[in-house]
Each structure stands twice: as structure tokens, then as C-alpha cells.
């Protein structure tokens, strides 16, 4: 057997260079690069290996482990899971910082390779710096905390273990039904240990992303269900986007008059201008989509996980009469809501289903246009909200008094409403620009009123809704789509939580644009607490003497070397957006927006943990309301 003597880390980097993915006849290297933050746990192992020979891997220095991992996740998500970045961290806190990002990748089914360093395999110097030392087991390290948030997890304590571990990791990451984070923790001494590796291990490996076809039983059953239904609705989930099923979805929708509704992950699979696209479904959905879903007698769920947001906590449908047809590569997902299951690729299934539906027409025909027109009018209203100091009725009603709203207008020196700012942006940026968001009130506004007219230009992480993904992820998107403008839509709370990779973007000349909506608080959570009977408690950003915080975020961005703008009116915002397009450097546009001016409601319900006993009548009422809603919700 021919062997090659390498350290574990050198073998790892050599292997990463030889992984390819084959999708629809096209073959591409699967690992584009590696994000690094070096510490004593990886600099002398993986650091040395990369310095010696990184091959084709692009090496990018991150600033925060969670942030760089979010950038890697966003890269993979934007590339429709066809390519990844790996992420290497040091031990202890460096590894622990991966946990929120791993959860983000897992909840969203995004492949990414995490390579945290681990404690010494020999245990000679124990306890090493940053080792937690559990009394009941020396085998526990910080990295065990990554197990529940990894799709595949392993610890390498001998060099030769690397071979079987990497093969399993790539099998998982390149399987659409299992795609998620693979975490391989490598003992820091082992990273530098040498071994005579079988040369065959480093041969080119192609991972085939084949499209699983449905069996005849599934196809016939699906066709029968659709033909027997009067009012079917197609729910476009993230799986539809990853399967690139746009054309066939549009064809079926058009031919058989079946309206489309979307999840956050599925949005912009089909552009919003498509006449049967009624937009987002559920808690953050449009009135049009929510009305259509309630009328439906069949939901054709394509690549959806049916989260609480998409199903309005299982109240979005009439469960007495509505049937479900689930098309999903994952059996676990297909089994949901007692559906008829087709466990197969979305695009292939729909293409094979098409000829079986000839002659079928739903009873939705004219209703689709009516619902859509009604929503277009509502969106138009939301684009022109204007503040009044005497009698302002914001979208989120009965929470802040006029005096309080005036206090915000004075403190932040603004009268700008969030919906108006958002739609100004939608109208001003280039249609092929990519927008990213993740947490706060913006995902709701985006799902309802943002109109993407170009497919795959809407990038929402709403599986984990992890604050901090917005800015970090914009770097990953820019790496995936270098010719497009990328806009990160972020609340002040999320920006404060994590924006370290903004600096990385500036450092590597990867232009991103931050659109910062500053309402001086955790706005959506404030809505949630007050909407369920609470007071305004620790969600506004106020000083010790109760003054509204007014942070000069533009100045912060300028300090990093970005071009920054302060915009509190529509005209200032438009001018800033136009100027930002011309910049080569990253930009930040700060908008002070009034609280309570985000969208709200539209016939949806979110099941949250309201207090069963409380001294407040308003909370007692909220609990009663929840109990009433639960009577119509499906129990599982």
C-alpha cells in the first residue's frame, strides 16, 4: 500500500481539496474555503497545514467564531447547499462560540463543516488552558456541547480516525435529506501528530446530489388527491428552493389555477410578481395567503417543515376538512400533519406528476386575483404611513400612548415608519440585489411586504432566527454572489449583539450594505409582551434615568472604515441608497424608525407561553384567549 506521511491537520486539508459535488450534470469543488480564528488549539495544527499548502481553499480570518460560522452557513444557503466553507476554531471558548451557529445550521438544514480544537488526547498536560475539567468524566470537553446541535459529531483522538470520520461527514453534508452541520473535534496534540496515510484516501471524491424519484404508488396517490380537491394550495418551502423547482411549480400553478403561498425559506423560489403567488403564510404572512390557506381543502406542502410560524401554530388551516400532501426528501418532514407522503425530490416529483393532472382545474381561479389585489392595496397603504404628533394610530395598536410615541420621535429625531422605510428600500435597490435578515420585527415585515422580483434574492434565516446572523451572513452571501449588491436588514438589537464580521467584510474588500433599523429596543419582543397583557418591561433601550438610548451607529461604522449615512426621512434614505450603490467600500445606512410601526396581525395566531396565573387582568385575558385558540388548533 502506498502511503504518505502527514500530520492529521495536513491530511485534513489535503482531503478537503479533493471533495467534489455533482449536481444535474455539473461537477464543482465542494469546499470553497475555510474561516479561521487561531488559538493554541489549532494554530500549530490546522494553521501550520494551511500555511504549508492550502491548495484551492480560500482562507479567511474571522473575528468571532459564531459570526464566521454564520458567514459560512449563509454562503452554503445562498449556494443552495452545493458548496461549503469549513470553520476552524481553537479549544474551549472558541469552540463554545460555535454553538449558536451550529443550531442555526441544524435548524435550517444547511451543510457546514465545523473543526473545533479539543483537549489533549494524551492528557499529559491536563488541565490545559481552557479545559473545563468535569469531575465525573475526563472525557467531557466543551465540544460535547456541540453534539445536540450537530447532524454529525465526532472526536479525533488518533490520526487514523480522521479517515472514516471525514467520509461520514461528507456523506451527511451532501445528502439533501440529512444536510446540516458536521462537527469534527480534533485533539490539539493530534492535529500535529503524523501518520502514514493510505494515498488512496486523498483521491478525488465525487458526491452525487442525485434527485430521488417518487415511486408509482406515491405519484398515483398524489395525483388522485389533487384531482379530488376543489381548492388546493401549494405551500412553497425551502426544499422547493433547494430543489430548484421554480419552473415546474409555476407551470402547475398556472395550468391548474393553484395559488402559491410561501414559507420564509421558500420565499423567492418564485418571484412575487407571479400572478398566483399570494406571499407568506402564517404568523408573519399576508392576508391573501392566510385567507387562501383557510379556504383550502388540500395543502400541497413542498419541502416544508411546517413550523409554528408557517402554520400559525397549527391554526392556519381548517383541519376538519383540509388534507395534506407532503413532498419532501426527508421522511421525518413528510410524515407531518397526517399527510399523504411522497418522499422524493420536489422538482422530479412535480415533473412526473404534471402529465397525471391533465384536464384538472381548481375552483380557485378568480379568487386568486381578488386576494392578490386586496393585498397589493394594503401593501400600498403600508408604504405611506405618516406620523402625526396628535393622533397617530400605529400598526401595532394600543401599546404605546401618543405621548410615548412623541417621546421617541423627539429622542430619535425621526418620524419615519418602519414599513415606509422598508418599501422605499424595496423600490430603490436593484432588483437582483440580495437581502438578508434573521431576527426581530424585520422578518415579519419582509415576509409580508418585501417583493422579490428575481428568484433567490431573499435570504431569511428563520429556522433558528438567530440574532447576529444578519450582518455575519451578508459576508457569506457576498462570497457566494460577488457581482451582486448585498443588503443586510438588521434591527438595533441584533446589530448590537453581533456584527464582528462587518469588519471582516471591510478587511477583505467584500462590499456589503448594512441597513440598520434603529427603534431603540427589542421591538418585536416588546410587542409580544404588551400584546399578551404585560407592561413595557426591559425591552426598550433606556438609560438608568429612563431616557431613550440614542446611539450614533453611523459613527461606529465610520470607525471601522465603512461609508456611513444617517437617514431619518424617505428622501434622505433614497439618496443614501443611491449613493451607497456607487461605493466600493462597505456601507451602513442608519435609519431611526418609530416603534410600533412594523406590520402586525393579518388573521394569524402564535402560540406562546402566557402565564396561567397573574395579578394583571390583561395577562389573565391573554391566557383565556390562548385557551380559546387552542380549541381550534390541531393538537399535533
Ligand X SMILES: Cc1ncc(C[n+]2csc(CCOP(=O)(O)OP(=O)(O)O)c2C)c(N)n1
- Say whether 532 sits in a helix, a strand or coil: coil
Minimum CB distance to Mg ion smaller for 322 or for 494 = 494
The least CB distance from residue 507 to ligand X, in Å, is 24
Lateral strand order in the sheet of 205-208 = 26-29, 19-23, 205-208
Minimum CB distance to ligand X smaller for 104 or for 349 = 104
From the list ligand X, ligand LX7YND4F, Mg ion, none, pick the one residue 473 interacts with, judged by a Cβ distance below 5 to 8 Å according to partner type.
none
The Cα 434–Cα 452 span in angstroms is 9
Using CB under 6 A as the binding rule, whether residue 597 contacts ligand X is answered as no
Instruction: Show the 3-state SS of 360-382.
Output: CCCCCHHHHHHHHHHHHHHHHHH
Residue selected from 209, 250, 396, 439 as contacting ligand LX7YND4F according to rule CB under 6 A:
439
From the list Mg ion, ligand X, ligand LX7YND4F, none, pick the one residue 443 interacts with, judged by a Cβ distance below 5 to 8 Å according to partner type.
ligand LX7YND4F
Residue selected from 443, 463, 473, 493 as contacting ligand LX7YND4F according to rule CB under 6 A:
443
Q: Which of 372, 361, 329 is nearest to 240 (CA)?
A: 329
The Cα 466–Cα 70 span in angstroms is 9
The Cα 531–Cα 525 span in angstroms is 9
Q: Are strands 260-262 and 232-236 parallel, antiparallel or unpaired?
A: parallel
Using CB under 6 A as the binding rule, whether residue 551 contacts ligand X is answered as no
The least CB distance from residue 527 to ligand X, in Å, is 8
The least CB distance from residue 100 to Mg ion, in Å, is 19
Residue selected from 440, 452, 531, 534 as contacting ligand X according to rule CB under 6 A:
440
130: left (phi over 0), alpha (psi -120 to 50) or beta: left
- The C-alpha angle with vertex 456 and arms to 343 and 105, in degrees rounded to 5, equals 60
Could you tell me where the DSSP H helices lie in 262-417? 287-295, 308-311, 331-334, 346-353, 365-382, 402-412
Select from 37-45, 96-104, 386-394, 439-447 the region that touches ligand LX7YND4F (CB under 6 A).
Answer: 439-447
Flag whether 451 is marked binding: no
Using CB under 6 A as the binding rule, whether residue 466 contacts ligand X is answered as yes
Using CB under 6 A as the binding rule, whether residue 232 contacts ligand X is answered as no
The Cα 447–Cα 435 span in angstroms is 12
Chain centroid to Cα 365, Å, comes to: 33
Minimum CB distance to Mg ion smaller for 113 or for 425 = 425
Distant-in-sequence, close-in-space partners of 87: CB < 8 Å, separation ≥ 6: 34, 35, 36, 62, 65, 68, 69, 72, 98, 101, 112, 113, 114, 115
The Cα 113–Cα 88 span in angstroms is 9
Footprint (CB under 5 A) of Mg ion, residues 446-505 = 491-493
Residue with cell 430543489: 243
From the list ligand LX7YND4F, Mg ion, ligand X, none, pick the one residue 466 interacts with, judged by a Cβ distance below 5 to 8 Å according to partner type.
ligand X
The least CB distance from residue 583 to ligand X, in Å, is 24
Residue selected from 128, 145, 525, 625 as contacting ligand X according to rule CB under 6 A:
525
Count Cβ atoms below 10 Å from residue 211 Cβ, excluding itself.
18
DSSP string, 29-94: ESEEEEEE---TTTIIIIIHHHHH--TT-EEEE-SSHHHHHHHHHHHHHHTTTS-EEEEEE-STHH
The least CB distance from residue 292 to ligand X, in Å, is 28
Footprint (CB under 6 A) of ligand LX7YND4F, residues 150-179 = none
Chain centroid to Cα 56, Å, comes to: 28
Using CB under 6 A as the binding rule, whether residue 494 contacts ligand X is answered as yes
For the chain, give the longest Cα–Cα distance: 84
Cβ atoms of 422 and 573 within 8 Å: the answer is no
Minimum CB distance to ligand X smaller for 242 or for 408 = 408
The Cα 572–Cα 421 span in angstroms is 10
Minimum CB distance to ligand LX7YND4F smaller for 89 or for 527 = 527
Using CB under 6 A as the binding rule, whether residue 103 contacts ligand X is answered as no
From the list ligand X, ligand LX7YND4F, Mg ion, none, pick the one residue 94 interacts with, judged by a Cβ distance below 5 to 8 Å according to partner type.
none
Footprint (CB under 6 A) of ligand LX7YND4F, residues 62-101 = none
Lateral strand order in the sheet of 458-460 = 458-460, 434-437, 486-491, 513-518, 587-592, 563-567
Residue 321 is given by DSSP the state T
Count Cβ atoms below 10 Å from residue 28 Cβ, excluding itself.
13
Using CB under 6 A as the binding rule, whether residue 440 contacts ligand LX7YND4F is answered as yes
The least CB distance from residue 66 to ligand LX7YND4F, in Å, is 16
Footprint (CB under 6 A) of ligand LX7YND4F, residues 465-504 = 465
The least CB distance from residue 567 to ligand X, in Å, is 17
The least CB distance from residue 633 to Mg ion, in Å, is 30
Select from 80-88, 357-365, 516-524, 549-557 the region that touches Mg ion (CB under 5 A).
Answer: 516-524
Residue selected from 103, 180, 285, 493 as contacting ligand X according to rule CB under 6 A:
493
For 69, 150, 283, 598, the CA distances from 108, given in Å and listed in that order, are: 14, 12, 18, 25
Using CB under 6 A as the binding rule, whether residue 452 contacts ligand X is answered as no
Residue 300 is given by DSSP the state E
From the list Mg ion, ligand X, ligand LX7YND4F, none, pick the one residue 102 interacts with, judged by a Cβ distance below 5 to 8 Å according to partner type.
none
The Cα 181–Cα 70 span in angstroms is 12
The phi and psi torsions of 83 (rounded to 5 degrees) equal -145, 155
The Cα 409–Cα 422 span in angstroms is 18
Select from 120-128, 227-235, 358-366, 516-524 the region that touches ligand X (CB under 6 A).
Answer: 516-524
Select from 49-57, 112-120, 149-157, 520-528 the region that touches Mg ion (CB under 5 A).
Answer: 520-528
Using CB under 6 A as the binding rule, whether residue 522 contacts ligand X is answered as yes
Flag whether 519 is marked binding: yes
Flag whether 198 is marked binding: no
Cβ atoms of 533 and 496 within 8 Å: the answer is no
Residue 542 is given by DSSP the state B
The Cα 90–Cα 96 span in angstroms is 9
Residue selected from 111, 117, 463, 523 as contacting Mg ion according to rule CB under 5 A:
523
Using CB under 6 A as the binding rule, whether residue 524 contacts ligand LX7YND4F is answered as yes
The least CB distance from residue 394 to Mg ion, in Å, is 15
From the list ligand LX7YND4F, Mg ion, ligand X, none, pick the one residue 494 interacts with, judged by a Cβ distance below 5 to 8 Å according to partner type.
ligand X
Interface characters, 393-432, with ligand LX7YND4F (x: CB under 6 A): ----------------------------------------
All 3 cell numbers of residue 181? 452541520
Using CB under 5 A as the binding rule, whether residue 597 contacts Mg ion is answered as no
Minimum CB distance to ligand LX7YND4F smaller for 289 or for 524 = 524
Q: Which residues are annotated as a binding site for Mg(2+)?
A: 492, 519
User: Which residue ranges make up the site for Mg ion (CB under 5 A)?
Assistant: 491-493, 519, 523
User: Which residue ranges make up the site for ligand X (CB under 6 A)?
Assistant: 100, 439-442, 465-467, 491-494, 517, 519, 521-525
User: Which residue ranges make up the site for ligand LX7YND4F (CB under 6 A)?
Assistant: 439-440, 443, 465, 524
Amino acid at each position: 500500500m502506498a502511503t504518505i506521511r502527514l500530520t492529521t491537520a495536513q491530511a485534513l486539508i489535503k482531503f478537503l481539496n479533493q471533495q467534489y459535488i455533482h449536481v444535474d450534470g455539473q461537477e464543482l469543488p465542494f469546499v470553497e474555503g475555510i474561516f479561521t480564528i487561531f488559538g493554541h488549539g489549532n494554530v500549530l495544527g490546522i494553521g501550520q497545514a494551511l500555511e504549508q499548502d492550502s491548495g484551492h481553499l480560500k482562507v479567511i480570518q474571522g473575528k468571532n467564531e459564531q459570526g464566521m460560522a454564520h458567514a459560512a452557513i449563509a454562503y452554503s444557503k445562498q449556494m443552495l447547499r452545493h458548496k461549503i466553507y469549513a470553520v476552524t476554531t481553537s479549544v474551549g471558548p472558541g469552540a463554545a462560540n460555535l454553538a449558536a451557529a451550529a443550531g442555526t445550521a441544524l435548524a435550517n438544514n444547511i451543510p457546514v463543516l465545523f473543526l473545533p480544537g479539543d483537549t489533549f488526547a494524551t492528557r499529559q498536560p491536563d488541565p490545559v488552558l481552557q479545559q473545563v475539567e468535569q469531575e465525573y468524566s475526563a472525557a467531557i470537553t466543551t465540544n460535547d456541547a456541540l453534539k445536540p446541535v450537530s447532524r454529525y459529531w465526532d472526536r479525533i483522538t488518533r490520526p487514523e480516525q480522521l479517515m472514516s470520520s471525514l467520509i461520514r461527514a461528507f456523506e451527511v453534508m451532501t445528502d439533501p435529506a440529512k444536510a446540516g452541520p458536521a462537527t469534527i473535534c480534533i485533539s490539539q496534540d493530534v492535529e500535529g501528530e503524523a501518520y502514514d496515510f493510505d494515498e488512496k484516501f486523498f483521491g478525488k471524491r465525487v458526491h452525487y446530489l442525485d434527485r430521488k424519484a417518487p415511486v408509482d404508488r406515491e405519484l398515483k396517490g398524489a395525483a388522485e388527491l389533487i384531482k379530488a380537491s376543489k381548492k388546493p394550495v401549494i405551500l412553497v418551502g425551502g426544499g422547493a428552493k433547494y430543489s430548484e423547482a421554480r419552473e415546474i411549480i409555476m407551470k402547475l400553478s398556472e395550468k391548474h389555477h393553484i395559488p402559491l403561498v410561501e414559507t420564509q425559506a421558500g420565499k423567492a423560489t418564485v418571484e412575487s410578481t407571479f400572478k398566483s403567488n399570494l406571499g407568506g403564510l402564517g404568523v408573519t404572512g399576508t392576508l391573501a395567503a392566510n385567507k387562501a390557506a383557510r379556504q383550502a381543502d388540500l395543502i400541497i406542502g413542498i419541502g416544508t417543515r411546517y413550523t409554528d410560524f408557517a402554520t400559525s401554530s397549527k391554526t392556519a388551516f381548517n383541519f376538519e376538512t383540509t388534507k395534506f400532501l407532503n413532498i419532501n426528501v426527508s421522511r421525518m418532514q413528510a410524515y407531518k400533519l397526517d399527510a399523504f407522503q411522497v418522499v422524493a425530490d420536489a422538482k422530479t416529483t412535480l415533473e412526473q406528476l404534471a402529465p397525471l393532472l391533465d384536464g384538472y382545474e381548481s375552483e380557485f381561479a378568480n379568487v386568486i386575483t381578488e386576494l392578490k389585489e386586496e393585498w397589493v392595496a394594503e401593501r400600498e397603504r403600508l408604504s405611506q404611513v405618516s406620523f402625526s404628533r396628535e393622533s397617530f394610530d400605529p400598526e401595532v395598536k394600543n401599546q404605546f400612548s401618543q405621548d410615548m410615541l412623541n417621546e421617541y420621535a423627539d429622542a430619535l429625531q425621526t418620524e419615519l415608519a418602519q414599513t415606509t422605510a422598508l418599501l422605499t428600500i424595496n423600490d430603490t435597490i436593484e432588483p437582483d440585489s440580495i437581502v438578508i435578515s434573521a431576527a426581530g420585527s424585520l422578518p415579519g415585515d419582509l415576509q409580508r411586504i418585501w417583493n422579490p422580483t428575481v428568484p433567490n434574492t431573499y435570504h431569511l434565516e428563520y429556522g433558528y432566527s438567530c440574532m447576529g446572523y444578519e450582518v455575519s451572513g451578508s459576508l457569506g452571501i457576498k462570497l457566494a454572489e460577488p457581482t451582486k449588491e448585498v443588503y443586510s436588514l438588521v434591527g438595533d438589537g441584533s446589530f448590537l449583539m453581533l456584527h464582528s464580521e462587518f469588519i471582516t467584510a471591510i478587511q477583505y474588500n467584500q462590499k456589503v450594505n448594512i441597513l440598520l433599523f434603529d427603534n431603540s429596543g427589542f421591538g418585536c419582543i416588546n410587542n409580544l409582551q404588551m400584546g399578551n397583557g404585560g407592561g413595557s418591561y426591559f425591552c426598550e433601550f433606556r438609560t438608568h434615568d429612563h431616557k431613550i438610548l440614542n446611539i450614533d451607529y453611523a459613527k461606529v461604522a465610520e470607525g471601522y472604515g465603512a461609508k456611513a449615512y444617517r437617514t431619518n426621512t424617505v428622501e434622505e434614505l433614497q439618496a443614501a441608497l443611491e449613493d451607497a450603490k456607487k461605493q466600493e467600500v462597505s456601507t451602513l445606512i442608519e435609519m431611526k424608525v418609530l416603534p410600533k410601526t412594523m406590520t402586525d396581525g393579518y388573521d394569524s395566531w402564535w402560540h406562546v407561553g402566557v402565564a396561567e396565573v397573574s395579578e394583571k387582568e390583561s395577562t389573565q385575558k391573554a391566557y383565556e384567549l390562548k385557551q380559546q385558540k387552542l380549541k381550534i388548533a390541531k393538537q399535533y
